[in-house]
Amino acid sequence: MRRPIAGAITLAHGAGGRASHQLIQEIFLFHLGNPFLQQGDDGAVLDPLEPGSQGGRWVTATDAHVVTPLEFPGGDIGRLAVNGTINDLAMMGASPRYLTAAFILEEGLSLALLDRVVASMAAAAKAAGVPVVAGDTKVVERGKGDGIFITTSGFGLLPPGIQCGGCRAKPGDAVLVSGTLGDHAMALMAERNGLIFDPPLLSDTAALHGLVADILTPRPAAVHVLRDPTRGGVATVLNEIAQQSKVAIEIDESCLPMRPEVTAAAELLGLDPLYLANEGKVIVICEATDADSILLRMREHPLGQQSSRIGEVLATSRPYVEMKTRWGGRRLVDWLMGELLPRIC
């Protein structure tokens, strides 16, 4: 029997950690659950239009964006909205083709700011080669929004022979990451707190479909999981994958790529970089025998030059994530609890 639903929404429900997971399981999947949603991935691979079709399948994804400030070092909410949905499609192994966008605008929003955000969105879509083909706009009363909220949906084509998902990690697999951790979250936190770094902290927001295409070439079957560590960071994403695949994941702290300025800012603010969001990185879980060749291809791409092998997948009787520390100890890396950084993506 379903337990009674009580309490109220908190910011923790939007952080991507344990509270978010429980919210999805206990309310959204309880009422809306179906084989597509129950996969728990960044998007859904749809049924082929024709039985036995060999021409690939459509993938769809949707994402809402509520970042503050609306413009930040390295990007803005418009660019974030385009890249975020393109990346959700890419994490399924799909080639992004089309986007749609819905804007909720707050009364009093500067038209000049809106113009800059939409221009940035258009530039990001053009650079990625993925047009915005439909949209909608609504306006809410002053004080009933946060300037701009943007929801984007995307459609991509999944070629035959590619199958990536959080449930496909296997014991013995290698865990790779395409670059430095925590860049997006710390760029926002530095902006909000008036922190100045040299070089400056910049968001890493970027469209990853080109990098993913290189990762999947020439042996897509070797790639089991693709996931971008957005809300909740690497720690939360790895816990999601461990749960989906019923495996343990062990990472090595000494192998985690991180900018010194991000490490310094995180220490200053008392934050754990493992839980800080990125918007332009991908975690790859692949067969260990292919890890070196995949890592080489990642490092040859402009968005993957600081890629690193950070861990491995282990067999277990209960899913968990653990980190070998620099000092030789071991630390359980649990789900994100609470809300570290509100309104980051």
Does residue 114 fall inside a structural domain?
yes
Task: Please tell me whether residues 241 and 156 are part of one structural domain.
Answer: no
**For 145-149, 173-177, 286-290, which range has the lowest pLDDT when averaged over its residues?**
145-149
184 part of a folded domain: yes
pLDDT for 4 equals 80
On whether the CB atoms of residues 331 and 322 are closer than 8 A, the answer is: yes
Instruction: Return the half-sphere exposure (C-beta side, CA atoms, 13 A cut-off) of residue 336.
Output: 32
Residue 11 lies inside a defined structural domain of this protein: no
Mean pLDDT throughout 216-237? 94
Of the pLDDT bands very low, low, confident and very high (cuts 50, 70, 90), residue 22 is: confident
Poorest-pLDDT segment among 17-26, 87-96, 156-165: 17-26
DSSP result, 228-267 = ---TTHHHHHHHHHHHHHT-EEEEEGGG----HHHHHHHH
Pairing of strands 148-158, 223-227: unpaired
> What digits encode the pLDDT tens for the residues 285-332?
999 999 999 999 999 999 999 999 999 999 999 999 999 999 889 999
Does residue 89 share a domain with residue 178? no
Distance CA 329, CA 249 (A): 16
Identify whether residues 175 and 152 lie together within a single domain: no
User: Quick one: 94 and 238 in the same domain?
Assistant: no
281 found inside a domain: yes
Q: Which two tokens stand for residue 270?
A: 């008392």
pLDDT over 80 (residue 47)? no
80 is in which domain, residue-wise? 55-161
**Residue 57 and residue 51: Cα distance in Å, rounded?**
11
**What is the tally of structural domains in the chain?**
2
- Interstrand relation of 75-76 and 132-140 (parallel, antiparallel or unpaired): unpaired
Identify which has the larger pLDDT, 259 or 50.
Answer: 259
More confident residue, 134 or 335: 134
CA-CA distance, 248 to 236, in Å (whole number)? Answer: 13
3-state secondary structure of 57: strand
Domain of 278: which CATH number? 3.90.650.10
